[in-house]
Structure 1
Amino acid sequence: MMKFDSYKESTLLDLENADLKEPDIPDLLEYLSNNHQVTQLKLAGKYINDGIIQNLVNSSNIQNLTDINFINCIYITDKGIEALANSPNMQNLTSINFQYCYKITDKGIEALADSQNIQNLNSISFEDCYKITDKGVESLVNSPNMQNLTSINLGRCNITDKALTDLTNSSNMQNITSINFRGTIITDKALMDLANSLNMQNITNINFKDCNDITNKGITDLVNSSSTKNLTIISLSTLMSIEEIEDIVKKLPKIQELKIADDNGLSEFCNYLIQLRDF
């Protein structure tokens, strides 16, 4: 029997390096049944597949889990996602991470969007799931089952302006505080839609790094918007002048961190301005 205690830290059971296999699942479920304080489960690697997910989610022993991380589980497909979405044992789930699960498609997202079993979900990540397109995002953001979402990570998915526009136009997304569209082909047009959206007034953290089609105009539209005054963290790859950075600090009163890739010290300069402002 696997010694699960050696992988446990507080409420987290981190099995990323445990080489968990399907025959280990009964022992894992028994462990979870006897350790209700475990609310976070991290699984990763080549042995995690749809069969393991199905065996997990069909057991009432996982009802205490609030956070499941499937990072780099490259054999998970839509079939596994559908099993999770259909499980009544997922009703306490608040956070789920499918980063690098690149076999997941829009069909998997649609299953999650249609599920009434995960309505408490507030954080979801599909970063690096490159088969996910605008179609899947549309179903997710327009679902009334997703109204509690506060954080959505679609970095390096196969999405366009439409995905961000659908998100910002959806009244179901009014609780969103953090969005990650890193490495996508969104443009200034989508940023204008974000800037004009009354649904995005709670947003505090945006990540548009490696979005090479975003220009200074798009950033200016964001900064000048009354809907983005709660922004505290901005991550970009768009190079800006000192004057433009000063304008960001001036117009975004809550900004605490500006991250600019390959910035030649501009991020440090911005943080210096923030310190002066808050002094």
Structure 2
Amino acid sequence: MGGACSRKRDPQVNEESLHRGVSGRFCKTGSLKWLGRSSSRASVDVKPGQGRCTSLMELCILKICEDINQYTSLSMLPRDISQQVFDELVYSQRLNDIILETFRDCALEDLNLGDYPGFNDRWMEVISSQGPSLLSVDLSGSGVSDSLLVQLKDCENLQALNFNYCDQITDCGLKYISGFLRLTTLSLRRNSSLTAQGMSALSKLVNLVKLDVERCPKIHGGLAHLKGLTKLEYLNLNCCNCVEDADMNDISGLANLKSLHISSSMVTDDGVSFLKALKKLTLLNMEGCPVTSACLESLSALGALLYLNVSRCRFTDDGCDKFAGLKSLKVLNLAFNDEITDAILVHLRGMTSLETLNLDSCRISDEGMENLAVLYCLKHLELSDTNIGNNGLQHISGLGNLESLNLSFTVVTDGGLRKLSGLSSLKFLNLDSRHITDNGLASLTNLTGLTHLDLFGARITDSGTKHLRCFKNLRSLEICGGLLTDYGVRNIKDLTSLTVLNLSQNYQLTDRSLEFISGLTQLVSLNLSNSRITSGGLRHLKTLKKLKSLTLESCKVTANDIKNLQSTALRELVSFRPQ
């Protein structure tokens, strides 16, 4: 199914790609998770002339940052000001060895340097100089090692440490960390050096509330050392393929645990049975575990459970009648269980609190859809790559609270889209299918609340784009079916709320399209790959001051062309292709 389209996402999330942004020659706009992280800032976000009166504090911060090279120390400033200056310099990536030295002994509270380039041993000296004031440190992706951790010994009030992707921290390093008795948050993702024996040091962190050891492949047996951490509420063991049923027994006494992530582990139905004692558990992520629908009997004892992810597990219709005992669930993810059929939907109709349901790639058809008609609280429905057709849509036409609907790679055609006209709350709609044409888009024009519209593989022509004028609130739009020309892009130029625009694979687009797009000044991500865009047309993009991602692969544009544009006009650009 969906063979006519050019992409279908891999059910296995490639974590690295989330931080690289938009990529791939025949790409659908990539996850913007990385973009959200890079665009968030804890300090100044307003510059003079941006439409409102800039506060005196903001002007002060901006001025200090502008003249930062003139200072040898900022320790005389109030802590809240020096903290904002530091955050601003990190955000703008202006921090280096010399500038960092000006923050020595500034009594800063938070040093968020995750994935920041240029980290070296001298940086740790400045970090440790903050002393007892320091509460939070993020050095993810750095070269921090056990020997450098020793320097933090005077930062006795540390509450949060984030050392993701820091492979040079070993069991010995955990011993140093165990001395921070006020620690409430510890993250050590993707560390192949940590072992079960080393985790014994964590037993001293009695105030720990959140522990993240995702992708740590040697910790089997080490969870026994967590038994005394009675305040623990969040535990992430995702992608630890060494974690087994016995480990679930070890954590079964953590009575305050509310969020447990064990995706892609070796936990089976027997392991899940140990979790029955976790009465406060509200979220359980078991994606890709070798569990079956038999585990539902154990899960039905978890009366507080609100979120359950069992995608890519070994579920079949047999035993799914136990879903009836999970009436409190708000989110249920059953994606990529290809042995699940319409029969399971009968058991879901009693889950009247359900707000999110993911049936991606299950063997669901129109026949079972009538069971969803009574789920009036449903806000998000994922039906991608199923056998749902036009008749099935009639059963969800009355779900007035529905905000997000994914019908990509289904057999829905233009005729079926008329049945969605009453879903006035709909904001996200995915119609990535070659079955959808201009006529289908015309049927949706009264859905004026749409903010995200995905027509990636749909056969939309220039004539169809005139219907887009009805969607004034659109923030994200993808049309990549190959039928657009510059004339069609002219109908997009008035969608001034757009932040994400993907028109890749429309090979007839020329520099004229960039001229139309130049007025979309809110754009953060733009993809025009596989088109006739040239380096000469890049001048039209100078107005897009908020642009962070630009993808022009297989165009007559070079990496140097984009770098020149970045240096002269698009200072916010952090990801571009070709590169």
Alignment map for 1:252-271 (pairs within 5 Å): 252-262=447-457, 267=478
- Summarize the Cα distance change of 1:246–1:158 in structure 2 as closer, same or farther, 3 Å threshold: closer
Alignment map for 1:115-130 (pairs within 5 Å): 115=325, 118-130=326-338
Kindly indicate whether residue 401 of structure 2 is the aligned counterpart of residue 189 of structure 1: no
Q: 2:413 aligns with which of 215, 218, 223?
A: 215
1:202 corresponds to which residue?
Answer: 401
User: Greater CA deviation, 124-133 or 262-271?
Assistant: 262-271
2:352 corresponds to which residue?
Answer: 147
- Note if contact 1:119-1:148 (Cα within 8 Å) is conserved in structure 2: yes
Kindly indicate whether residue 269 of structure 2 is the aligned counterpart of residue 64 of structure 1: no
Structure 2 counterpart of 1:93, which letter?
A: L
Query: What SS does structure 2 have at the residue aligned with 1:262?
Result: coil
CA distance in 2, matches of 1:271, 1:70: 42
- Note if contact 1:132-1:159 (Cα within 8 Å) is conserved in structure 2: yes
Could you tell me how far 1:243 is from its partner in structure 2? Answer: 7.1
CA distance in 2, matches of 1:50, 1:272: 54
CA distance in 2, matches of 1:219, 1:150: 22
1:17 corresponds to which residue?
Answer: 239
- Note if contact 1:41-1:67 (Cα within 8 Å) is conserved in structure 2: yes
CA distance in 1, matches of 2:387, 2:344: 16
Structure 1 counterpart of 2:413, which letter?
A: T
Could you tell me how far 1:133 is from its partner in structure 2? Answer: 1.2
Could you tell me how far 1:91 is from its partner in structure 2? Answer: 1.0
Query: What SS does structure 1 have at the residue aligned with 2:321?
Result: helix
1:138 corresponds to which residue?
Answer: 346
Query: What SS does structure 2 have at the residue aligned with 1:48?
Result: coil
Could you tell me how far 1:13 is from its partner in structure 2? Answer: 1.6
Alignment map for 1:240-259 (pairs within 5 Å): 240-241=436-437, 245=441, 248=444, 250-259=445-454
CA distance in 1, matches of 2:390, 2:439: 20
Q: What percent identity do the matched residue pairs reach?
A: 20
Q: Which digits, 9 at most, give the CA deviation of each residue in 1:18-40, with x for residues without a partner?
A: 3212222333224x23xx3x421
CA distance in 1, matches of 2:319, 2:493: 44
- TM-score, scaled to structure 2: 0.40
CA distance in 1, matches of 2:305, 2:323: 12
CA distance in 2, matches of 1:274, 1:247: 19
- Note if contact 1:182-1:210 (Cα within 8 Å) is conserved in structure 2: yes
- Summarize the Cα distance change of 1:138–1:264 in structure 2 as closer, same or farther, 3 Å threshold: same
- Note if contact 1:256-1:271 (Cα within 8 Å) is conserved in structure 2: no
Kindly indicate whether residue 364 of structure 2 is the aligned counterpart of residue 162 of structure 1: no
1:104 corresponds to which residue?
Answer: 315
- Summarize the Cα distance change of 1:97–1:273 in structure 2 as closer, same or farther, 3 Å threshold: farther
Could you tell me how far 1:215 is from its partner in structure 2? Answer: 0.7
CA distance in 1, matches of 2:213, 2:265: 21
Structure 2 counterpart of 1:219, which letter?
A: L
CA distance in 2, matches of 1:53, 1:6: 20
- Note if contact 2:433-2:457 (Cα within 8 Å) is conserved in structure 1: no
- Summarize the Cα distance change of 1:276–1:109 in structure 2 as closer, same or farther, 3 Å threshold: same
Could you tell me how far 1:206 is from its partner in structure 2? Answer: 0.5
Whose radius of gyration is greater, 1 or 2?
2
Query: What SS does structure 2 have at the residue aligned with 1:258?
Result: strand
Could you tell me how far 1:107 is from its partner in structure 2? Answer: 2.8
Query: What SS does structure 1 have at the residue aligned with 2:252?
Result: helix
2:298 corresponds to which residue?
Answer: 83
Could you tell me how far 1:110 is from its partner in structure 2? Answer: 1.0
Structure 1 counterpart of 2:274, which letter?
A: N
CA distance in 2, matches of 1:271, 1:54: 54
Q: Which digits, 9 at most, give the CA deviation of each residue in 1:169-204, with x for residues without a partner?
A: x2xx11111111111111111123333x3xx11111
Higher RCO, 1 vs 2 (CA within 8 Å, ≥6 residues apart): 1
Kindly indicate whether residue 219 of structure 2 is the aligned counterpart of residue 7 of structure 1: no
Stretches of structure 1 that go unaligned for 5 or more consecutive residues are: none
- Note if contact 1:255-1:274 (Cα within 8 Å) is conserved in structure 2: no
CA distance in 2, matches of 1:120, 1:271: 43
1:180 corresponds to which residue?
Answer: 382
CA distance in 2, matches of 1:276, 1:26: 51
- Note if contact 2:244-2:265 (Cα within 8 Å) is conserved in structure 1: no
- Summarize the Cα distance change of 1:274–1:230 in structure 2 as closer, same or farther, 3 Å threshold: farther
- Summarize the Cα distance change of 1:245–1:11 in structure 2 as closer, same or farther, 3 Å threshold: farther
Stretches of structure 2 that go unaligned for 5 or more consecutive residues are: 1-195, 203-209, 215-231, 461-476, 480-488, 499-521, 523-579
